[in-house]
Chain A
Amino acid sequence: MLLTEERAAAKAAAQPGRRPRCDWLWGYGLIAPMALGLAVFYLWPIVQTLYLSFTESGVFGGQTWVGVDNFAALFGDEEMLGALRNTLLYSLLVLIGVPLAIVIAALLNVPGLRGLGFYRTLYFLPVVTMPAAVGLTWRYLYNGDFGLINYLLGEIGIDGPYWVSDPEFAIYAIAVVGIWSSLGYNAVLFLAGLQGIPKHYYEAAAIDGAGRMRQFFRITLPLLTPTTFFVMVITLINALQVFDLVYLMIDTKSPALAGSRTIVYLFYEQGFVQNSRGYAAAIAVVLLALILALTALQFRLQRRWVHYE
C-alpha cells in the first residue's frame, strides 16, 4: 500500500508541468524550521558527544584529545561495570512485565466485558502519573520500618528487607515499580493488537472444537507476535535508559546505590555532578552502542518467532 502510493507519487512527479517547480521551495521552506531545530538540538549534539567521548576536560575548561582512554577506563571502572549489570538486570526484569500486559489485554478483550473504560483507567493511571511522584510514593511503601509492603508481608509471616536501602534488593524493588508504571501502556498496545485479529479465525477454531485456552495459545499469541515484538523493542529501549526511578527512590549517599546505579544515573553523576564531560560522553556512547546492539539482536531473533500474516 505504501509502496504503490510512493510509486504513484513518483509517476506524478515525472510528468512535466504536472507539479509546479516552486513545490521544491515550498517543501524546503516548510521543513526548514524543524530541520534547523533538529540539526542544532539533536544532530549536532550527537556529533559533539562522539567527539567529547574522546576528550578530557582541562583544568581551565576546554577539552584535550585523549583517544580511547575514556573507553579503556570505563571497562576497568567498578561503577561502570556495576551500572551495566544493574541496567541489564533491570531491563530483563521489566521485560517480565510484557506477558503480564498480554494477560491484562486479553482479559480486557473478552467480548461484551462490562466496565472496560473503568479498568482501562485503573491500569493506565500510573502511566500518566509523574515519575517523580511515583518514585516518592513507592519509596514510602517500601520503607523497612513503617512501609505498607513490609506490613503486609509481616501479616503473612515474612520479615521484609529494607528494600530501597539494601544493595541486594534495590534493583528488584525498582523493577517492580518499572513494571507497574508501564503495564497500562503496554496493555493498550496489546489491546489494539488483539482487536486487529480477524474474528473468523476464532469462529473457525470454535467449529473445530478448540476451547478458549487452546484458541489463546494457538491463535491469539501467534497472531499477536508483531505487537509483542514491537512492545519488547520499545520496553527494552526505555528500560536501558532508566533514571527517574533510581534517582527518586535511592538516596545519593545510600549504600543501595552500588546495587541500583544504572548507566544513565552514572552518566548524570559524571557529566553534571562531577563535571567529567568526556567520561560522561563515553558512557553515553556505550549506552548508544548497547541499545543499537540489543535492538539489532531482537530484529535478528524476530525471524524465529514473529509471524506476519
Chain B
Amino acid sequence: MSRRWIVHAVLLAGGLIMITPFVWQLVVSLQTVTESMRMPPTPVPSWQWHNFADVFRTVPLGRQFLNTVIVTAAVTAGQLLLCSLAAFAFARLEFPGRGPIFLLFLAVLMVPGELFLLPRYEIMQGLGWLNTLQALIAPGVFGAFGTFLLRQFFKTLPRELDEAARLDGANPLQIYWWIMLPLVRPGLLALGLLTVMWSWSSLLWPLVVNTDPEMMTLSAGLASLRGQYLTNYPVLFAGSVVASLPVIVLFVVMQRQLIAGIAFTGSKG
C-alpha cells in the first residue's frame, strides 16, 4: 500500500514541474509590468484583464489567429485527402513500380526539413507567393509520413472487402471512398490531430516565407514580438496564452485518440 503512495508522490512532483511554467505564464499574463519584474516573484496576479485586449491592439493578433486557423484547416484537410488516396493505392492496388516509388516516398522521411527550405523559398518567390497564405499551405498538404501511417491502416483491412466490392462492379475510387475510408477512421483521426498540432506550431517556414505581420501565423507572430515587447512580459504572455490555448483544448478533448495515434507510430513506425 505504501508503495502506491511513493508512485503518486513521484508522479505528482514531476507533474508539478511540468505544469508550473503554464501556471506561471497565466499568472503573469494578468499582472502589471512592475509586478512581473518584482523580486521575490508574485504568485498572485492583480487581474489585469486588459493585457489580453492590449495584445490584440498592439499586434495584428486577431489577423494572425485567423491566418493560423485557415492554414491549419487547409493543411489538415489536404493531408487527409492526399495521404489517404496515395496510401490506399500503395496498400490495395497492384501497379508496376509500386515498391520503388514507395521507397522514394520513404526516403523523403529521412531527410531533415531544412534541406527543402531554400528551394521552396525560391519556388514561392518565383510564383510571387511570398507573404501569402498559400505559401504556408501548399508545401504542407503533401507528406510522406501521413502516407506511410495510413498505408499501415489500409493494410490491416481484409482482402475480401475489395474483392466483394469488385464483384459488385465498384471501381477502386468507389472502394476507397465508400468502403475503405470509413474503416480507417482511427488512422485519419490520428493523422488529423498530429497534423493540426504540427501545423499550428510550426515556426521556421512561416518565419522565412511571410515577413509581413498581417500574413504571419501565431508562432511567427509571437517570435517577432519577442524583440519589441521584451520588457512587457504580461502582454507577451497574454499573446502566448491565446496562441497555445486552442491546441491545448483540442488535446484535452481528443486526448485518447491523439495518444493512440502517437503510440501507433511508435509501434509500427
Contact = CB atoms under 8 A, between A and B. Distances in A.
Interface in A191-231: 191-193, 196, 212, 227, 230-231
Nearest to B266: A189
A42 B37 contact: no
Interface in A136-191: 136-138, 140-141, 145-148, 151, 180, 183-185, 188-189, 191
A241 B144 contact: no
A33 B82 contact: yes
Contact of B142 (A23, A41, A129, A188): A41
B59 to A, nearest CB: 13
A56 to B, nearest CB: 14
B44 to A, nearest CB: 14
Given A120-B255, A247-B223, A49 B7 contact: no
Given A27-B93, A230-B269, A45 B218 contact: no
A269 B21 CA distance: 29
Contact of B251 (A38, A49, A128, A247): A128
A122, A145, A243, A271 interface centre (most CB from chain B within 10 Å): A122
B144 A42 contact: yes
A308 interface: no
B255 A35 contact: no
B108 A271 contact: no
- How would you classify the secondary structure of chain A's contact residues: helix, strand, loop or mixed? helix
B97 to A, nearest CB: 9
Nearest to A44: B119
A288 B36 CA distance: 42
Interface string A258-288: 0000001001100110000100110011011
Given A104-B14, A122-B15, A145-B39, A131 B114 contact: no
B66 interface: no
A33 B82 CA distance: 7
B259 A120 contact: yes
A13, A19, A30 interface centre (most CB from chain B within 10 Å): A30
Contacts of B101: 31, 35
Contacts of B250: 128
Interface stretch (A64-72, A73-81, A90-98, A107-115): A107-115
A264 B218 CA distance: 21
A17 interface: no
Interface string B240-269: 110110011011100100110011001101
B153 interface: no
Residues of B in contact with A, size category: 35 or more
A125 interface: yes
A231 B262 CA distance: 12
Contact of B15 (A19, A33, A119, A133): A119
B255 A121 contact: yes
A91 to B, nearest CB: 13
Contacts of A3: none
B82 A34 contact: yes
Contact of A38 (B11, B108, B197, B255): B108
B40 A151 contact: yes
B124 to A, nearest CB: 10
A117 interface: yes
B132 interface: no
Interface string B217-251: 01110110011001001001100110110011011
B115 interface: yes
A41 B139 contact: yes
A162 B187 CA distance: 46
Contact of B219 (A35, A131, A183, A196): A131
A128 B247 contact: yes
What 8 A-B pairs come out closest when comparing CB atoms?
Answer: A27-B95, A37-B142, A192-B263, A45-B119, A133-B240, A122-B15, A48-B119, A30-B89
Interface of B: 3-4, 7-8, 10-11, 14-15, 17-22, 24-25, 28, 36-41, 82-83, 85-86, 88-90, 93-96, 98, 101, 104-105, 108, 110-123, 138-139, 141-142, 144, 147, 155, 159, 171-173, 176, 197, 200-201, 203-204, 207-208, 218-220, 222-223, 226-227, 230, 233, 236-237, 240-241, 243-244, 247-248, 250-252, 255, 258-259, 262-263, 266-267, 269
8 contacts: A26-B172, A31-B85, A31-B89, A49-B118, A129-B244, A136-B237, A145-B37, A145-B39
